[in-house]
Structure 1
Amino acid sequence: MSAASCLLTEDQFLCSICLDVFTDPVTIPCGHNFCKPCISEHWDRNVQLKCPNCNKLFCKRPELLVNTFISEMADQFRQSAQQKASSSSSEQHVFKPGEVPCDVCTGTRLKALKSCLVCLESYCETHLEPHLTRAGLKKHQLIDPVENLESRMCVKHDKLLELFCQTDQVCICMLCTVLDHKTHDVVPLKEEYEGKKAELGKTEAEIQQMIQKRRLKIQEMNRSVELSKEGADREIADGVQVFTALKESVERSQAELMDTIKEKQRETEEQAEGFIKELEQEIYELKKRSSEVEQLSRSEDQLHLLQSFTSLNAAPPTKNWTEVRVRPPSHEGTVGRAVTQLEETLSKQMKKLLEVELKRVQQDEVEVTLDPDTAHPELILSDEGKQVKHGDVRKNLPNNPERFDYCACVLAKQSFSSGRLYYEIHVEGKTQWELGVARESINRKGIITLTPQDGYWTIWLRNENEYIALAGPAVRLSLKSQPEKVGVFVDYEEGLVSFYDVDAAALIYSFTGCSFTEKLYPYFSPSLNYGGKNSVPLIISPVNHTE
């Protein structure tokens, strides 16, 4: 029997229903063999009594008798297969937690290599072999091992889920297409799989792009923090330097003031001491003369008294002290002069500090050009959009929503909704002008009010030398000199708008604590011409980055 079994193939010992080695093999009248439990269960579930292999129909249920020959051969084959599996188990991986086990293995279960969507079982290398060699089993669909193969069956019709309903976005079986999804758009599972896989690839690419953008944003934020720290360290160093210089200047001025007062006091004391010494010496001489006169007056020697009278009668030579005074020194103005000198020192330090500050904000220079669509019809703009002045003729221009129709002003083309910006305007020779920034939603028709509440942050020159910050209420500004070039700096997030006298490196005025929530536009008004007295244009000029 052992020799005979070597001539038989493994397929001859497998039940075509359970695809495993025969258990209690029986032969039905058509000559095909099955496990007795398999063929019995098959006929129990079906109304017609047919052979699962050749579909031969039987009028009545055949009697099932065990095929002893096949049974013996199957037992021998099973033992041989177990020995083979035992000898190769050391080369295969034993099932571990998290892996899919073989559903056929008994005893030590091995790791499954494939799962069959037809048999709904997973197989290790040994038990997978029939699916790789038998013609009937080769047609079965094998996939990488997965658990819960039952979930791949339609719960309603107990058929394989091999189609996809695009209408309901669910996996269905063949019976579903003719029942519940008859009029729906149905495609093979593989086709939908490829489409969804492509979408997932696109989604993955988009996610990776989003990740990359966020990584770049993190780098940007880290760089901003580094720049902020560098700026903070620089400001601290500058502040320490300035205040150290001021402290030293104050201490030096205080010491000089004390020395000056003490020196005057010392001179007064020395003068008084000199006078007192002279007076004491004269008192000594007078006392001596007084003693001599008193002694002479008591003398009984007539001749001696007469001879000495002339020299002793007259007082000894002394100084006329009537007009001599020790006058306390006057310290009036001493402290004032010291404070004035300290103010000059402070002013010099402030000027140096502002020069440094101005150079820094100038690094945020932006390109600014005038927008003709916003310009009042009486304004004249240069072709390059860098100059504006008031003309005497009102041009016939479309009254579009962006245009100012009453006030002689114009906005820039550029808008800003984040970050910092700086630009400079040449104002030399003008007797009136308005400069600043305005938010996008400002009123541009009729009379406008230039206040932060109305969306304007501006300063105003009127009557040639009267400077006003239109802060609502207005703030009159006291400037040491008339600016010829005005720098405008805006820090959107900080809520800061500052104006500088560029040539004097002086701060004119700052709007602080502003709350910006929309786009800002640079604002310009050359004011009226006034018969040629204010005909000079406002000129947007490039920043001169000189050390």
Structure 2
Amino acid sequence: MSAASCLLTEDQFLCSICLDVFTDPVTIPCGHNFCNTCITQHWNKNVKCQCPNCKKVFYRRPELQVNTFISEMAAQFRQSAQQKASSNSSEQQVSKPGEVPCDVCTGTKLKALKSCLVCLASYCETHLEPHLTMSGLKRHQLIDPVENLEGRMCTKHDKPLELFCQTDQMCVCVLCTYSDHKTHDVVPLKEEYEGKKAELGKTDAEIQQMIQKRQLKLQEMKRSVLLSKKDADREITAGLQVFSALKQSVERSQAELIDTIKEKQRKTEKQAEGFIKELEQEIFELKKRSSEVEQLSQSEDHLHLLQSFPSLNAAPPTKDWTEISVRPSSYEGTVVRAVAQLEETLSKQMKKLFEAEMKRVQQYAVDVTLDPVRPKPSQSNQGNDCRCVLSKKGFTSGRFYFEFQVKTWSVWTLGVARKSLRRTGKIQLSPRNGYWTVCRMCQGGYFAPADPPVCLSLRSQPDKVGVFVDYDEGLVCFFDVDAATLIYSFTGCHFTAKLYPFLSPCPNDDFETHTQKGPCNMM
């Protein structure tokens, strides 16, 4: 049987359904063989019992017969295949796409283990053996397998590129040093390799440092986003609480207003119901007497009329309704008083909010010292003489807060400004010109020199004004510190230059007492 098996191939013992060597092979009436499980499952899935190879139809499912001969041959091929697979596991690997093949192998190319820079060829384990055993080949330079070994040859002299010309920054062969690169600085490839490798190490260190810096910046940004989200969630929560309280206050005031009006209406209705009931009773009695009078007047009985007359002639007990009336309840001022009370409640809530806001912005308080240089008096946009002073320190990012005592000043302008702006001559205050300020006029009014200017209505004269700036958000806010109220806000600003605290007091006020002693009453 072994001799016969040499004439057979493995393909002859493959099941046409599973395409693998037969397992428990059976023969069907047409003579074709299949695995017992394969043909059974095939017929279970199909309506007709049909041979998968010749397509012959069996109107009754045939009885499957075990093919002993094929079963024995399939077992031998399976054993042989296992032995072959075990033997191949210890042999060299066949070259796959993307791998460097052996240049010596014929037919099936095996994977190369090394490339020779002298022979300019790549070798598998078998064909590499002479380079490992023969003394003449042992001196050849072997490297990990690479493709395109021809590119390592000088195209002009057909010699290996063994040197590096530092003058032209290119690889050359030995003969090149006697021709085109004769007077150039030429070093061995290994020497230049070591130098370039050191440069690469330095470059890699710089890159790693850049990566580290950016990773730190990335972490910083992520922390900023996380903090921003926490701040946003906190603000949303606080805002919901505030508006919920305000909503409840409005609803409560509305309910109280309705109850007040309804109570007045109930009192009016109750009073009217008593009067109506009395009037209806009197009307009923009067109608009854009228009927009796009419009936008696029509009587022909002289004696009866005269005897009954005295009792009918007496007037029934009635009330004098001349001065009695039901006056509708007065609702004038009811809604106004309710709204005023609501406004008072809202004002208290607003005061609490601004007090909390003041505490938040005051954590960004900075010490600011005014520039000791005294500018000459100049003309402002109000046409009055004024002096403009900036602080020594400016800000180009972040948040900062400072305060001015303005209680003793009759006229003042304060806020922030760009240092590049002039402080003499006629000054036109506006954000467009680089000034974000609020002003107190000589008449006692207040305004913000915005574009266009905005008149401000303040309940009281501020003694201390706080200024909060968020450079990155483009925000400048002015607060009445003692009253804990917002005076005015510049929003949506676009700052591109350094900002300095700005002050312009009235020249008639004692400005020197505020500036000579250091920080000028500024936090």
| Shared fold per TM-score greater than 0.5 | yes
**Residue deviations 1:352-377, cap 9 Å, x none?**
333343344444x15343363xx542
Residue pair 1:407, 1:448 contacting (<8 A) in 2 also:
no
Change (3 A) 1:279 1:186: same
The AA in structure 1 aligned to 2:458 is L
SS in 2 for 1:483: coil
The SS at the match of 1:324 is: coil
Would the alpha carbon gap of residues 525 and 270 (structure 1) be closer, same or farther in structure 2, given more than 3 Å must change?
Answer: same
Please state whether the residue corresponding to 1:118 is helix, strand or coil.
coil
Contact 2:431 2:451 in 1 (8 A): yes
Question: Aligned pair in 2 of structure 1 residues 249, 531: CA closer, same or farther (>3 Å)?
Answer: closer
Give the secondary-structure state (helix, strand or coil) at the position aligned to 1:247.
helix
| Match among 299, 302, 307 for residue 300 of structure 1 | 302
- In the alignment of these two chains, the number of paired residues is 424
Name the counterpart of 1:259.
259
Find the partner of 1:415 among 395, 408, 420. 395
Secondary structure at the counterpart of residue 414 of structure 1: coil
Query: In structure 2, how many angstroms separate the alpha carbons of the residues matched to 1:407 and 1:189?
Result: 75
Task: Work out which of the residue numbers 501, 509, 520 in structure 1 matches 2:498.
Answer: 520
Q: What runs of 5+ residues in structure 1 fail to find an aligned partner?
A: 1-86, 380-389, 391-405, 543-547
Structure 1 match to 2:473: 494
Measure how far apart 1:510 and its partner are: 0.9
Give 1:348-497 correspondences, 5 Å limit: 348-363=348-363, 365=364, 367-370=366-369, 372=371, 375-377=372-374, 407-417=387-397, 419-439=398-418, 441-463=420-442, 465-497=444-476
Contact 1:114 1:143 in 2 (8 A): yes
Question: Residue 211 and residue 473 in structure 1: after superposition, are their counterparts in 2 closer, same or farther (change >3 A)?
Answer: same
Counterpart of 2:447 in structure 1: which amino acid? I
Structure 2 letter corresponding to 1:267: K
Corresponding residue for 1:242?
A: 242
- 1:438-490 deviation digits (Å, cap 9, x = unpaired): 23543345333221110111112343853221213322211223333333223
CA contact under 8 A between 2:369 and 2:520: conserved in structure 1? no
Partner of 2:27: none
Separation of aligned partners in 1, 2:426 and 2:183: 68
Is the 2:430–2:451 Cα contact (8 Å) retained in structure 1? yes
Query: What residue identity is the alignment partner of 1:224?
Result: S
SS at match of 1:442: coil
Q: Contact (CA 8 Å) 2:375, 2:387: kept in 1 or not? A: no
In the superposition, relative to structure 1, how do residues 120 and 198 fare at CA in structure 2: closer, same or farther (>3 Å)? same
Q: After superposition, where does 1:127-142 map in structure 2 within 5 Å?
A: 127-142=127-142
- Cα separation, partners in 2 of 1:366 and 1:269, compared to 1, 3 Å: closer
Task: Give CA-to-partner distance per residue, 1:137-166, whole Å, 9 cap, x none.
Answer: 444333332222211111011122122223
* Structure-2 residue corresponding to 1:5: none
CA distance in 2, matches of 1:150, 1:532: 91
| AA aligned opposite 2:502 | F
- Any idea what the Cα deviations from partners look like across 1:16-38, whole Å, max 9, x if unmatched? xxxxxxxxxxxxxxxxxxxxxxx
Choose 174-183 or 88-97, whichever is displaced more: 88-97
* Bigger mean CA offset, 189-198 vs 425-434: 425-434
Q: Quick check: 1:420–1:491 contact (8 Å CA) kept in 2?
A: yes
Q: Structure 1 length normalisation: TM-score?
A: 0.68
Q: Residue type matched to 1:415 in 2?
A: F
Alignment check: 8 A CA contact 1:113 1:122 kept: yes
Evaluate the alpha carbon distance shift between residue 182 and residue 464 of structure 1 in structure 2; reply closer, same or farther with a 3 A threshold.
Answer: farther
The CA deviation string for residues 313-348 of structure 1, in whole angstroms up to 9 with x for no partner, is 553443322221211111110111111122222222
- 1:293 is displaced (CA, Å) by 5.9
Aligned counterparts of 2:315 and 2:483: Cα–Cα separation in 1: 74
User: Aligned runs of 1:272-283 on 2, under 5 Å?
Assistant: 272-283=272-283
Match of 2:211 in 1: 211
Q: Aligned pair in 2 of structure 1 residues 492, 303: CA closer, same or farther (>3 Å)?
A: closer
Give the CA deviation at 1:186. 2.9
Contact 2:417 2:502 in 1 (8 A): no
After superposition, the C-alpha distances for 1:394-415 in whole angstroms (9 at most, x for unaligned) are: xxxxxxxxxxxx8421134132
Contact 2:447 2:453 survives alignment (8 Å):
yes
Q: 1:432 to 1:167 in 2, by over 3 A?
A: farther
Matches within 5 A, 1:3-402: 90=90, 92-106=92-106, 109-287=109-287, 290=290, 300-301=302-303, 309=310, 313=313, 315-363=315-363, 365=364, 367-370=366-369, 372=371, 375-377=372-374
- Kept after mapping to 1: 8 A contact 2:402/2:466: yes
Per the TM alignment, residue 92 of structure 1 is displaced from its structure 2 partner at its CA by 4.9
Relative to structure 1, the CA distance from residue 205 to residue 428 in structure 2 (aligned partners, 3 Å threshold; closer, same or farther) is farther
Cα distance, 1:511 vs structure 2: 0.9
Contact 1:101 1:109 in 2 (8 A): yes
Residues 366 and 93 (structure 1 numbering): CA distance in 2 closer, same or farther, change over 3 Å? farther
Q: Give the superposition deviation at 1:172.
A: 1.6
Q: Contact 1:376 / 1:407 at 8 angstroms: preserved in 2?
A: no
Q: Deviations over 1:185-213 (max 9, x none)?
A: 33332222222212222222222233333
Cα distance 1:232–1:163, how it changes in 2: closer, same or farther (>3 A)?
same
Contact 2:409 2:505 in 1 (8 A): no
Separation in 2, partners of 1:445, 1:127: 92
Query: Per the alignment, do residues 180 and 445 of structure 1 end up closer, same or farther by CA in structure 2, a change over 3 Å counting?
Result: farther
Report if aligned partners of 1:429, 1:536 keep a CA contact under 8 Å in 2: no
The answer to whether the 8 A contact 1:436-1:457 is kept is yes
What one-letter code is carried by the residue in structure 1 that aligns with 2:413? E
CA contact (8 A) 1:431 1:533 kept: no
Aligned-partner Cα distance in 1 for 2:146–2:305: 160
User: What are the Cα deviations for residues 243-297 of structure 1, in whole angstroms up to 9, with x where unaligned?
Assistant: 2222222222222222222221221122122222223333344445556666777
Q: Provide closer, same or farther for how the CA distance between residues 494 and 280 of structure 1 changes in structure 2, counting only shifts above 3 A.
A: same
More divergent stretch after superposition (107-116 vs 144-153):
107-116
Taking the aligned partners of 2:128 and 2:422, their CA distance within structure 1 comes to 81
Percent of aligned pairs with the same residue? Answer: 67
